[in-house]
Structure 1
Amino acid sequence: MVTKTVELLKGFASHEEIMEILATVAADLGDVIDVSFLQVKPLKGAMTNEVFEINWPAKSDGHLRRVLVRLYGEGVEVFFNREDEIQTFESMSKHGQGPRLLGRFATGRVEEFIHARTLSASDLCDPEISALIATKMREFHNLDMPGEKKAQLWPRLRKWLNHAKSLCSPKDTKNFGLEVLDTEINMLQELLSEGCEGIGFCHNDLQYGNIMIDEETRSITLIDYEYASYNPIAYDIANHFCEMVADYHSDKPHVLDYRRYPTMFENGAPGLEVRQRFIRAYLSSEGKKPTKTEVGQLVNVAERYTLANHLFWGLWGLISSHVNTIDFDYKEYARQRFKQYWLKKPILLNSPSIISQDGVPNGSVAPFTI
């Protein structure tokens, strides 16, 4: 059984390099790795990288050492600069955030294993846990990190759109309405950037699998910073709300259930109240009680930023369908995100309906039926 688990790593070209790095990490911890006792456990839910938990008996007392090995997904360099991401990872560690970097190799890295529980999809609907996430998010946004302190969302969207056009067939370019997205991105940037816009260091991918909780201390740790950058804080909050519709550990991890977009917690609170509660906890986390107006303003801005979030992850899904080999229906995921964009745009921007009678966005050629 153990031998078979080690075989999991042999499917990667960098297997020998991985084993060398693991041996070095083990030596730094005072251990010697015996391959016959090495245990490899694939971790589910990752959609950009392959992630494994690696265990071996410690030399001192025989208890299990645990590390996490992250193998970078193929072709994902279009989404972020890997060296910038490593710099972010190391800066986070200096700030006391997240796991420590233990070792690097050409196609991945070894990280400290966080002894905490990764959240499940249902945890996001727990009022206590939700408040803890809101407080942690505010702390994260206030970090002084490397990088230009202005919104990176818009140039990233344009870069991804151009890359999606270069990868997609003429049929998919037409079906997903990529020809009109330049105009949509320009329009969103102009509308959403009006007035004073709070910028912070944002995680940009705050799905439940990137949040861990220590059951004893109730402390929250945010992990996986591939997409992190300076952005409007309202965008990061919007992204977290959008992730409440996903369950990446289900039989169909690509399927999004928008009935769950913060709809109800166990006490029956309606969706608006759920979002207000989260933002109230976010704004209160530094000791100052926000006014109803302040809460309402951020709720409204965050809700409008869900539109940019749908385009962001829709483009991510399209590109991933061409470059990533992880077993996940990226194209169907993209279709659902674009569908939500066209559905919600007339409501959230109070604009004339862009949905024609046959369910296709006016001015576009998206094939889905609303």
Structure 2
Amino acid sequence: MGAVNIWNAMDVAEEAREYHSSQILSSSLTVPTSLSILDMKPRVIELCKDLFKKWSKLDDSCFYVDTVSGGITNLLLKVTVKEENHDVSVTVRLYGPNTEYVINRERELLAIKYLSAAGFGAKLLGVFGNGMVQSFINARTLIPLDMRKPELAAEIARQLRKFHQVDVPGSKEPQLWIDIHKFFDKASSLKFDDSEKQKTYESISFNEVQDEIVALKELTGLLNSPVVFSHNDLLSGNIMVNDEEEKLYLIDFEYGSYNYRGYDIGNHFAEYAGYECDYSLLPNKDEQYHFFRHYLQPDRPNEVPDRDLENLFVEANIYLLAAHVFWALWALIQAKVSPIDFDYLSYFFLRYNEYKRQKEKYFSLARSYLSESSSL
């Protein structure tokens, strides 16, 4: 991957003004996610014709609808339209049912406008009852093993630094502990119809979880991690690359908000494990230092002082623990409200048990670091 120029705030601000002068198309139509792709197709075509008036008179045979991906939150569809002289493709993103319990859609839409102006993700073309339409990105989605490749890791680090420099209007208050407390309140008062699920759920000690949240919040608060606009969900499925053009894209900003720099980086490292939570795949210290060098000084990665690498190592790994708690609580809520066929209850235990396994190691590291820093 080639080096990326440092983001120019004045250029991006000008682009943002131009972007906001154009109106985002909207439709009141919805496309039920419970339908099969075959039954969904006419609804998607109707939606595209309603949003984009230039397609309204085209025959339905001019539209081709394919599934791009079906993750554990949303469904992505590629719609290709045969126009007179060429084909045009857009991406239709259908929100997963009940995702409003864990995602602030208004915040997401605001962020997309400014992030798109800064060159991130796909351009937002329109919104509808249960989703959005964006420009199509001609690239492949990464898999977890891709993220540890040195060239890709360096480019992700450079792009994440640039991402963290985007100024999105609104509250600059970090959302991590606000969201964790909100998730805890919901997750600790659930009732499952399935007796086996209820039995598994009742094995969780929420008093213990609450104590861990308090201790973790107190310790991370001493690290003074910078507050930046963060992606907060930088897993492999939200990173795309065009191998021929050597261009990398960060996409899907559903969880985007102002947050702690260490959290965004630590959460990214946690995602090396994939949905299967194979924590043997997490980046080791050398791999993390490689990432930090390209994040901290993209133009001169080999000149980053050792102390800066050590500081970010502590910061990222203590916040990695917070990422385990965040997604563990998220999984409990999803276990109750999501119709997607994924074992969210088991995912809670995979994340929370890994937090408990790693807690003492990184709590000790953080305390030792804080003690040394105070004596300097």
Distance in 1 separating the partners of 2:61 and 2:309: 56
Provide Cα deviations, 1:15-72, integer angstroms capped at 9, x if missing partner. Answer: 64x43331145544x78543234322223352111111122322223xx321111111
Are the equivalent residues in 2 in contact too, given 1:176–1:335 (CA < 8 A)? no
Are the equivalent residues in 1 in contact too, given 2:70–2:76 (CA < 8 A)? no
- Aligned residue runs from structure 1 range 237-252, under 5 A: 237-246=265-274
Are the equivalent residues in 2 in contact too, given 1:26–1:33 (CA < 8 A)? no
Distance in 1 separating the partners of 2:147 and 2:56: 38
The residue number in structure 2 matching 1:267 is none
The residue number in structure 2 matching 1:229 is 257
Q: In structure 2, which of residues 49, 60, 65 is the aligned counterpart of residue 23 of structure 1?
A: 49
Give the percent of matched residue pairs that are identical in Structure 1 and Structure 2.
35
What RMSD in Å do the two structures reach over aligned CA positions?
A: 2.2
Q: Letter of the 1:127 partner, please give it.
A: P
Equivalenced residues, count: 325
Q: In structure 1, which of residues 122, 134, 139 is the aligned counterpart of residue 157 of structure 2?
A: 134
Provide Cα deviations, 1:281-325, integer angstroms capped at 9, x if missing partner. Answer: 111126573201101110111111111000111111111111111
The residue number in structure 2 matching 1:181 is 209
Are the equivalent residues in 1 in contact too, given 2:223–2:315 (CA < 8 A)? no
The residue number in structure 2 matching 1:258 is 279
The residue number in structure 1 matching 2:64 is 39
Are the equivalent residues in 1 in contact too, given 2:120–2:250 (CA < 8 A)? yes
- Aligned residue runs from structure 1 range 358-369, under 5 A: none
Are the equivalent residues in 2 in contact too, given 1:31–1:58 (CA < 8 A)? no
Distance in 1 separating the partners of 2:59 and 2:343: 38
User: In structure 2, the residue corresponding to 1:66 is in which secondary structure?
Assistant: strand
Consecutive unaligned residues in structure 1, runs of 5 or more: 1-5, 247-253, 263-270, 352-370
Q: In structure 2, which of residues 34, 37, 62 is the aligned counterpart of residue 8 of structure 1?
A: 37
Compute the TM-score of the two structures, normalised by the length of structure 1.
Answer: 0.82
The residue number in structure 2 matching 1:296 is 310
Answer yes or no: is 1:145 the counterpart of 2:168.
yes
Shift of 1:166: 2.2
Shift of 1:349: 1.0
User: In structure 1, the residue corresponding to 2:47 is in which secondary structure?
Assistant: helix
- Aligned residue runs from structure 1 range 1-370, under 5 A: 8=37, 10=39, 16=43, 18-28=44-54, 33-61=58-86, 64-168=87-191, 171-246=199-274, 254-262=275-283, 271-285=284-298, 287=300, 289-350=303-364
Provide Cα deviations, 1:165-214, integer angstroms capped at 9, x if missing partner. Answer: 22245744542222322221121111011043211111000011111123
Consecutive unaligned residues in structure 2, runs of 5 or more: 1-34, 193-197, 366-376
Compute the TM-score of the two structures, normalised by the length of structure 2.
Answer: 0.80
Q: Letter of the 2:66 partner, please give it.
A: K
Q: Letter of the 2:290 partner, please give it.
A: R
CA separation of 1:236/1:31 partners in 2, compared to 1, >3 Å: closer, same or farther? same
Distance in 1 separating the partners of 2:40 and 2:176: 35
Are the equivalent residues in 2 in contact too, given 1:66–1:113 (CA < 8 A)? yes
CA separation of 1:315/1:168 partners in 2, compared to 1, >3 Å: closer, same or farther? farther
User: In structure 1, the residue corresponding to 2:189 is in which secondary structure?
Assistant: helix
Distance in 1 separating the partners of 2:224 and 2:243: 38
Most deviating of 51-60 and 152-161:
51-60
